[in-house]
A and B are shown apart, each in its own frame.
Chain A
Amino acid sequence: MSFLSQVQGRPVFDADGVRIGQLRDLLIDTGTPYPPVRSVVMERNGRRYSVPWHDVASVTPRGAALRGKFNENRYASPSDEMVWLARDVMDKQIVDTTGVKLVRVNDIALTALNDELRVAGVDNSTSGLLRRVGMEKAAGLFHKRPPKLIDWEQVDIGPAVNEIRLKVPFHRLQRMRPADIATVVSQMSPGEAADLFEQMDEETAARAMAELPDEHQAAVLAAMEPEEAADVLEEMEPDEAADLLGDIKDEQAEQIMQLMEPEAAEEVRNLLAYAEDTAGGLMNSIPVLLRANDRVADAVQRVRELDDLDHELHTLFVVDDDDRLVGSVTPVHLLVADPDARVIALMKEDVEPVALDTPDDDVARALVRYDLMAVPVIDADRRVRGVITVNDVLDLMTPRSWTSRARRMMG
């Protein structure tokens, strides 16, 4: 095994052992696992040539050797289609998907295998750093064992420069759990995080965004293109989207809302009218309200017709003909009841609604005290305006953690 830093800058010889240039970079094709080196970038008289791998006999720390004579007409300039290991990956930050963190590439490990030179992994150790400044011996003094590498198949290019990411599919990061993506993203700058979110599918981006610490969220959102930001916000819970929009500059928030689906934008706009720390600011809209006089079969049909089942339908709320809250019923009760019965017959009447301006702490307390999964939010006319579920107040009930705001404070 050798390292990129050991071969970079080494001389290139032709088949007769004549020195013809200097090795500058290695081009890889990232489509294959442990990608093989496809070309060697050689510099000769100030020009760069791309020498295809089948013309290369060996690449070692002593230098690279070609199989034949060098002919400058035979080799083109290196192309930007492939990933340049030294230019695009070395010294950049990448995502270690197993360790769930951002790491700096201090060196890249290469393995010769069946006539091919393949990328084995990434060295982010301190001895890798020492190797780069020519103090490899010193590295040996501190670490008896060779440095632990991060397997190439466990890394994702992550926040590395934009152009590379277009060339490299980054499935690995996207397959991580949203909370883990958020952990990695919170180690990036808002701009890098924004670039990353813009390229993920909106749903994954929205779920990861929701897991970010508040102050980081706003900065990332601010750094995103308004169109992309609008797409991600549409996928988020409206109360979270409203919180986020409330944290960025007014005109920017306005611009993003103009770009959102009118319906989603309207809902967020309504939520924004309420203070963040009141029931109005916490609630989400209710996808379906049942009528007290409906037949059970009709009520079930209403639930069935919902186009989006992502809502947390722990409890269904029942209103009278004037839209005033009269009770609640669980989906299970609806399912087992006689289809011809009236909803009013099986509903629970003692619901504990909260008002729009109830402080968030009191909402959380109400949920805990009455062991509820959700409370309805009503206005002065007892009309249902929204619902707050346990999930919406969960972070109020857990002790405020030391969110990773350290990086933030440098701003």
Chain B
Amino acid sequence: MPQLTGRRLPLRRAAVRFSAFQRLLLLLAIFGPGVITGIVDDDATGIAGYSLAGAHYGYVLIWALIPVCVALIVSQEMGARMGVVTGKGLADLIRERFGVRITLLAMVTLLIANAATTIAEFAGVAAAADLFGISRFILVPVAALVVFAVVSFGTYRKVELVLLAVSLVSLSYVITGFMSQPHWGDVAQGAFVPKVHLTLPFLTLLIGLIGTTITPWQQFYVQSAMVDKGLSERDLKRARADVAVGSTLTNVIAFFIILTTAATLYVTGKPAETVTDIGQALEPLAGNFAARLFAIALLNASLMAMAILPLSTAYAICEAFGWERSVNRPVREAPFFFSLFGGLLVIGGAAVLIPGVPLLFLLFLPNVVGAILLPIILVLTLRLVNDRQVMGRFVNNRVQNVLAWATAVALVVLTVAYAVLALVELLS
């Protein structure tokens, strides 16, 4: 064997040709799927969910982010680990281990949750249109077409980098958070003294907070992202670090959104009832420009999720049922795939163009829907990840099982409590 280590030849080629901007994009490109998922997690539904929590209850709900962050790391790690170890997507594994009936249940669950979320992302676009002073009837169809084109022409990878770069605008919440001079004592109390009000609005916001942070689509998405990267057991450590960083990032941004809205909106005592109200939170930083800054953040967050959601839903469902799936095939060869992909985009776009539709409601709805449906996906995930025939020696350890089961059980308990409260309210 000749001396190979002595001289070091460049492996990465022609890096010299890149401009500074491209180098910034390359830096973003080294983010793993976990970090990207974490960033996309703060989508329009997230901004709405966290803002409402801060605007209505101040710092009180901050404590919830700690267990939610742990639960997010645990569930994302399970998905990443399954993808790395099995080389298969979640839909694929569900079909192979549980057969057609359970698969049908899981896919209907995913479809409902993702349809609600897709509509919400379109609501984000519509809200941004309002804030920019552009007609919804222009921006919404344009956004849908752009997403369709970007996805179909396979330029998504490049576009994703731009979207990720623009998502740095969410840092404006971090800056505003400090500028708005929050009562740090109250913040600490909110973070470390858990308080639960047994009222319908409080539970709605709490469930929504969990439901927007841990979602069914993320479980499917992070797993197939790991699979598509060709990661194997050798890369497990790195994949774990990746999802841990991504999940923490989601919650750090969430913390600052709650902090900012609490310090700017909650203190005024005015209830936040529209998307415009929420956008006022950025005023200490941006002044008159606050509405537009908020619109940029909202639009970008919506577009990122729109590029992922309809397509990954169509993929998962077609993968599970063995239908042709590829944007590169003629429509007639992959009818189910295109119906699902196109259908979600059309439904999402049409829903927010209905005159007088409450955008904030649409933005918040998937948080609750997702939280109610998530236990189904979590239980299936737990069954798979503890199956030695699937995972070999990479099955869950006890701590992981306890935390993941606790998440699923907590969600079910909250949902039941919520249903009971709603029923009581209805009857009285």
Distance between Cα atoms of A408 and B224 in the complex (Å): 10
Nearest CB of B to A389, in Å: 21
Q: Which of A150-207 contact B (CB under 8 A)?
A: 189-192, 194-195
Contact between B322 and A124, CB atoms less than 8 A apart: yes
- Residues of the A chain whose Cβ atoms lie less than 8 Å from the Cβ of B154: 402-403, 405-406, 409
A275 partner, pick from B1, B4, B13, B311, beta carbons under 8 A: B13
- Residues of the B chain whose Cβ atoms lie less than 8 Å from the Cβ of A132: 99-101
A404 partner, pick from B156, B230, B326, beta carbons under 8 A: B326
The interface stretch among A250-258, A305-313, A368-376 is: A250-258
Contact between A91 and B96, CB atoms less than 8 A apart: yes
Q: Which of B1-20 contact A (CB under 8 A)?
A: 1-2, 4, 9-14, 17
Please tell me if B232 contacts chain A, counting CB pairs below 8 Å.
Answer: yes
Q: Which of A78-126 contact B (CB under 8 A)?
A: 90-93, 103-106, 124, 126
Please tell me if B33 contacts chain A, counting CB pairs below 8 Å.
Answer: yes
The interface stretch among B48-56, B61-69, B86-94 is: B86-94
- Residues of the B chain whose Cβ atoms lie less than 8 Å from the Cβ of A246: 11-13
Nearest CB of A to B185, in Å: 45
- Residues of the A chain whose Cβ atoms lie less than 8 Å from the Cβ of B157: 408-409
Query: Which residue on B lies nearest to A124, using beta carbons?
Result: B322
Query: Which residue on A lies nearest to B7, using beta carbons?
Result: A269
Instruction: Say whether, besides A191-B227, A410-B311, A253 and B14 are in contact (CB < 8 Å).
Output: no
Query: Which residue on A lies nearest to B16, using beta carbons?
Result: A275
- Residues of the B chain whose Cβ atoms lie less than 8 Å from the Cβ of A405: 154, 328
- Residues of the A chain whose Cβ atoms lie less than 8 Å from the Cβ of B230: 190-191, 194, 218-223
Q: Which of B28-85 contact A (CB under 8 A)?
A: 33
Please tell me if A56 contacts chain B, counting CB pairs below 8 Å.
Answer: no
Chief secondary structure at chain A's binding surface: helix
Please tell me if A133 contacts chain B, counting CB pairs below 8 Å.
Answer: yes
Size of chain B's interface in residues, with CB distance under 8 A? 45
Contact between B87 and A262, CB atoms less than 8 A apart: no
Instruction: Say whether, besides A275-B14, A277-B14, A411-B225, A189 and B312 are in contact (CB < 8 Å).
Output: no
A133 partner, pick from B13, B101, B325, beta carbons under 8 A: B101
Contact between B312 and A410, CB atoms less than 8 A apart: yes
Please tell me if B104 contacts chain A, counting CB pairs below 8 Å.
Answer: yes
Nearest CB of A to B345, in Å: 15
Please tell me if A334 contacts chain B, counting CB pairs below 8 Å.
Answer: no
Please tell me if B403 contacts chain A, counting CB pairs below 8 Å.
Answer: no
B13 partner, pick from A92, A220, A222, A281, beta carbons under 8 A: A281
Distance between Cα atoms of A191 and B9 in the complex (Å): 29
Distance between Cα atoms of A13 and B305 in the complex (Å): 55
Distance between Cα atoms of A70 and B282 in the complex (Å): 77
Contact between B4 and A191, CB atoms less than 8 A apart: no
Nearest CB of B to A158, in Å: 13
Q: How many A-B residue pairs have CB under 8 A?
A: 133
Contact between B101 and A195, CB atoms less than 8 A apart: no
Please tell me if B162 contacts chain A, counting CB pairs below 8 Å.
Answer: no
Distance between Cα atoms of A25 and B327 in the complex (Å): 37
Q: Which of A368-411 contact B (CB under 8 A)?
A: 402-411
Please tell me if A265 contacts chain B, counting CB pairs below 8 Å.
Answer: yes
Contact between A269 and B87, CB atoms less than 8 A apart: no
Nearest CB of A to B341, in Å: 10
Give the interface centre of B33, B86, B229, B311 by most chain A CB atoms within 10 Å: B229
Give the interface centre of B232, B321, B322, B326 by most chain A CB atoms within 10 Å: B322
Instruction: Say whether, besides A189-B228, A219-B228, A106 and B87 are in contact (CB < 8 Å).
Output: no
- Residues of the A chain whose Cβ atoms lie less than 8 Å from the Cβ of B257: none
Please tell me if A274 contacts chain B, counting CB pairs below 8 Å.
Answer: yes
Query: Which residue on B lies nearest to A411, using beta carbons?
Result: B228
Please tell me if B95 contacts chain A, counting CB pairs below 8 Å.
Answer: yes
Please tell me if B364 contacts chain A, counting CB pairs below 8 Å.
Answer: no
B315 partner, pick from A219, A272, A402, A410, beta carbons under 8 A: A410
Nearest CB of B to A132, in Å: 4
Instruction: Say whether, besides A106-B322, A192-B88, A273-B9, A223 and B231 are in contact (CB < 8 Å).
Output: yes
- Residues of the B chain whose Cβ atoms lie less than 8 Å from the Cβ of A194: 87, 230, 232
Distance between Cα atoms of A409 and B325 in the complex (Å): 13
- Residues of the B chain whose Cβ atoms lie less than 8 Å from the Cβ of A281: 13
Distance between Cα atoms of A139 and B228 in the complex (Å): 34
Instruction: Say whether, besides A189-B227, A191-B86, A262 and B326 are in contact (CB < 8 Å).
Output: no
Please tell me if B346 contacts chain A, counting CB pairs below 8 Å.
Answer: no
Distance between Cα atoms of A411 and B11 in the complex (Å): 24
- Residues of the B chain whose Cβ atoms lie less than 8 Å from the Cβ of A133: 100-101, 104
Q: Which of B281-332 contact A (CB under 8 A)?
A: 311-312, 315, 321-322, 325-328
Distance between Cα atoms of A236 and B229 in the complex (Å): 22
Contact between B1 and A402, CB atoms less than 8 A apart: no
Query: Which residue on A lies nearest to B318, using beta carbons?
Result: A104
Contact between A250 and B11, CB atoms less than 8 A apart: yes
Nearest CB of B to A54, in Å: 30
Distance between Cα atoms of A384 and B312 in the complex (Å): 50
Instruction: Say whether, besides A129-B321, A246-B12, A409-B156, A262 and B2 are in contact (CB < 8 Å).
Output: yes
Contact between B232 and A191, CB atoms less than 8 A apart: yes
Q: What string of 1s and 0s marks CB contacts (under 8 Å) between B373-399 and chain A?
A: 000000000000000000000000000
Contact between B33 and A272, CB atoms less than 8 A apart: no
Contact between A404 and B322, CB atoms less than 8 A apart: no
Instruction: Say whether, besides A92-B96, A411-B224, A254 and B232 are in contact (CB < 8 Å).
Output: no
Contact between B327 and A406, CB atoms less than 8 A apart: yes
Contact between B229 and A411, CB atoms less than 8 A apart: yes
Please tell me if A245 contacts chain B, counting CB pairs below 8 Å.
Answer: yes
Please tell me if A276 contacts chain B, counting CB pairs below 8 Å.
Answer: yes
Q: What string of 1s and 0s marks CB contacts (under 8 Å) between B114-154 and chain A?
A: 00000000000000000000000000000000000001011
Please tell me if A338 contacts chain B, counting CB pairs below 8 Å.
Answer: no
Distance between Cα atoms of A126 and B318 in the complex (Å): 12
Distance between Cα atoms of A91 and B322 in the complex (Å): 9
Contact between A411 and B14, CB atoms less than 8 A apart: no
Q: A191-B87, A408-B157 are in contact. List 7 more A-B contacts (CB 8 A).
A: A91-B96, A92-B96, A222-B230, A223-B232, A405-B328, A406-B154, A409-B154
> Could you list some 13 contacts between A and B, CB below 8 A?
A92-B96, A132-B100, A132-B101, A133-B100, A195-B87, A254-B11, A258-B4, A270-B9, A272-B11, A272-B13, A277-B14, A404-B328, A409-B154
Residues of A within 8 A of B (CB): 90-93, 103-106, 124, 126, 129, 132-133, 189-192, 194-195, 218-223, 245-246, 250, 253-254, 257-258, 262, 265-266, 269-270, 272-278, 281, 402-411
